[in-house]
Structure 1
């Protein structure tokens, strides 16, 4: 039996006219307007005098910088300059919140409410700004790498049914699947040694202590979390018991679907578990037995153009710009979640209603057809990449008509290191691992703080 494979769609790069975005068309239109006014006003002399302006507009509209057009860079640079000017690139908070039932995180606007849900056996995180209620489950599976082809296909199909079920629950806003890889594979043995044999009275004991310390740093500890964000009940300032019970019912259905896919839900995180998970998002290099339970966040954070600092740890976050363009099996992400240092791989899935998805597909197809007609009118050859994007749209529409759901996926990868030099090494390593996984990574710039929080915080916050 052949191994089951999957084909990912391409990143859509369509524009409003000949592949150009509205911003590019505006700049080129501005350049043509300047040329027209200059020629009508002073002929060739006016054209020469106005050359710096219309040339600048033309170059800005046609030339890309770092894989982005100038109009695409404008909001990124504008937000970054505004943040630097107003001091929002640095944030601080108290070491532990004195108010029970609240979570104050540097870099996250507002105060998050933490509500205990007895029916769920864990806590719910209420975000009033986003109008969502989030619960986090710790899960584990038996793995898929060493399974035979039939078992791999069965597990992949079961996971597909989980994703399909998410599209049929309108209460679910977003789901985040988060895998954290960090040092600490021998954490239990190391902690037991510290508690029972802290004093090394012999050479053998000292040698064993050194081996445990070395093993702690050289072996990887993996944690898998699934965060589910559901819509907050409208018109309620506080989450009532009945509303929490209804949300728990939705989350229980998600847990049943995960169990059916051979993914065991160990627990829904309680208060201490949530605090520990949040702190590890900021300080993934800290040993789990060295993190106080009440400490939910570092004292402060500082954002730079292409990196983020939290306490004593430096982070860099990447966006998965392109998934594999060729057919791959279910284990294609293995290089990214292997023993490659401290990193977090986060997949955010947002269900798209079928009507909205069909409307987007048909609008995109109409834009492609109009663009194709314009190309034929001027004699321009169609790019093969555009043909592939149209084929992806046809495939998506056929799947929706057949009754399948549509999900908007975002992949984020965050790497961490104790200093800048080792962060650079970690970035080179993750880029090499992404190439092995046939994924194209783009390092975020001007958005490192928001990117790292979306990638590493198990709160299903999503990205913009």
Structure 2
């Protein structure tokens, strides 16, 4: 009987390390030792050298909660204080919102037209009419694309929902995962694809959808001679009893294309739509439940819900008119997708009426993983939570260089230990086997991806936010996540990276 396969995640690469230290701590430690020796000779005082050496040691090793070591936290503290001094930590949307001009979302040099907060500046929702090429020429609903003018990308958003994956046999689950790996491999080879990702919003929700459905049913079945259906009354009582336990999950996939990588003759909008449709077909073939690309209104509602979940009950009661579905308000969709106010603090950011705190999964489990290992982090909806993943394909040439470098490093470390008669640790032998597996998978047609995960928790008050953060840490530990770190001093930027817009964390956001 063969054992079922397991999956492993590569540890985060933090650059070269000597004596277990990265470049920055190593420089600080070396500078501290140099100061401890040189400064007493120059000044004649041992105290000065010891003070400088102690300062270097503190900067290298003393941690700041939520910001990493002191040498990493110092720039964040300076940035936060500078923003507060310049009153740039608080933003309110200018009124009136309905300016009527498509360029009112953001016009260079026009501060009054900047209706989106700074973390979302440069984003706009474009409208692409559905044609016969999209397979839905009969539909009046347009396709929405998110244009990031700063990064030069076009992102398509696709709604998805859960399937029967958790009920499948173990062998069938592995087949589904293998099919998803093929989707990733083929998508990485498409022209212009920069990255892809998904964003799962989960949280308690009022039974509004169920009540609306029940109201429609009662309106259609009740007559003057007969009162409301008994089954409808029983169902309504069931909803009242189950309301505290009702949850909602909103999953959005997104695919981002770099317009600079496309062929010069290719139309960027058409290429982005075609790439999204191809990606959706591949996902369906792999057993995923994925819809067509979202409309501008659908994208705006998804972003609005993640900004302030308290509007969920209102959004469920919104009835789209024919003009809305045909794209008549697509010009304003990007404006209404954004919040009305934002107030950034060191340990949280307030967006409209709720508080947000974003965490970074800094270290993943190193042991073998099986299907469903991340379920505690995904489906525990004790608080409003958004889990966002960003995947970026690594070119094959870069993957080969990285595999060769890892193999040489492991062989040299093992050779040094064997030469001096030291025992080779188990983790080194296992790491060598993992490098061999990566090389075999690369030669078999798979593609390596760089990945990052952010988790945003939302609560109406700071006390509730602290409780939600504690619950998140417990759920992450139960899933086996080694380290999850709050991104203090940059929660506004991190929150923007959790939205299904194709915008990714900046290089300086995660160190």
Q: TM-score by structure 2 length?
A: 0.77
**2:486 equivalent in structure 1:** 443
**2:363 equivalent in structure 1:** 322
Task: Tell me: CA distance 1:322–1:24, structure 2 relative to 1, closer, same or farther (3 Å).
Answer: closer
Which residue, 255, 258, 279 being the options, matches 1:231? 258
Map 1:163-174; keep pairs closer than 5 Å. 163-174=184-195
Q: Does 1:283 align with 2:308?
A: yes
Which residue, 283, 289, 297 being the options, matches 1:272? 297
Task: Tell me: CA distance 1:77–1:166, structure 2 relative to 1, closer, same or farther (3 Å).
Answer: farther
Task: Tell me: CA distance 1:32–1:379, structure 2 relative to 1, closer, same or farther (3 Å).
Answer: farther
Map 1:296-307; keep pairs closer than 5 Å. 296-307=337-348
Structure 1 distance, partners of 2:9, 2:200, is: 21
Structure 1 distance, partners of 2:235, 2:442, is: 59
| Contact 2:394-2:450 within 8 A present in 1 as well | yes
| Residues paired across the two proteins, number | 456
Q: CA deviation at 1:384?
A: 7.2
Task: Tell me: CA distance 1:301–1:378, structure 2 relative to 1, closer, same or farther (3 Å).
Answer: farther
Structure 1 distance, partners of 2:449, 2:436, is: 16
Map 1:126-145; keep pairs closer than 5 Å. 126-145=147-166
User: What SS class does the counterpart of residue 222 from structure 1 fall into?
Assistant: strand
| Contact 1:19-1:371 within 8 A present in 2 as well | no
Q: CA deviation at 1:392?
A: 4.8
Q: CA deviation at 1:308?
A: 1.6
Q: CA deviation at 1:46?
A: 3.1
User: What SS class does the counterpart of residue 276 from structure 2 fall into?
Assistant: helix
Moved more, 150-159 or 370-379: 370-379
User: What SS class does the counterpart of residue 32 from structure 1 fall into?
Assistant: helix
Q: Does 1:343 align with 2:390?
A: no
Structure 2 distance, partners of 1:3, 1:317, is: 35
Structure 1 distance, partners of 2:496, 2:438, is: 31
Structure 1 distance, partners of 2:424, 2:86, is: 46
Structure 1 distance, partners of 2:85, 2:433, is: 45
**1:29 equivalent in structure 2:** 30
| Contact 2:37-2:49 within 8 A present in 1 as well | no
Q: Does 1:9 align with 2:10?
A: yes
User: What SS class does the counterpart of residue 45 from structure 2 fall into?
Assistant: helix
User: What SS class does the counterpart of residue 324 from structure 1 fall into?
Assistant: coil
Structure 2 distance, partners of 1:394, 1:185, is: 51
Task: Tell me: CA distance 1:378–1:462, structure 2 relative to 1, closer, same or farther (3 Å).
Answer: farther
User: What SS class does the counterpart of residue 34 from structure 2 fall into?
Assistant: helix
Q: CA deviation at 1:272?
A: 1.3
User: What SS class does the counterpart of residue 255 from structure 2 fall into?
Assistant: strand
User: What SS class does the counterpart of residue 274 from structure 1 fall into?
Assistant: helix
Unmatched runs of 5 consecutive residues or more in structure 2: 106-114, 135-141, 220-226, 321-332, 507-511
Structure 1 distance, partners of 2:3, 2:408, is: 38
**1:38 equivalent in structure 2:** 39
Post-superposition CA distance 1:129-187 (Å, at most 9, x none) = 01100110001242311111122112111111112222212411111111111233632
User: What SS class does the counterpart of residue 166 from structure 2 fall into?
Assistant: coil
RMSD: 3.8
Task: Tell me: CA distance 1:208–1:138, structure 2 relative to 1, closer, same or farther (3 Å).
Answer: closer
Map 1:75-94; keep pairs closer than 5 Å. 75-94=75-94
User: What SS class does the counterpart of residue 129 from structure 1 fall into?
Assistant: coil
Higher RCO structure (Cα 8 Å, ≥6 apart):
1
Q: Does 1:250 align with 2:271?
A: no
Unmatched runs of 5 consecutive residues or more in structure 1: none
Moved more, 144-153 or 116-125: 116-125
Structure 2 distance, partners of 1:317, 1:34, is: 39
| Contact 1:275-1:296 within 8 A present in 2 as well | yes
User: What SS class does the counterpart of residue 311 from structure 2 fall into?
Assistant: coil
**1:182 equivalent in structure 2:** 203
Moved more, 224-233 or 354-363: 354-363
Structure 2 distance, partners of 1:436, 1:402, is: 34
Q: CA deviation at 1:277?
A: 0.7
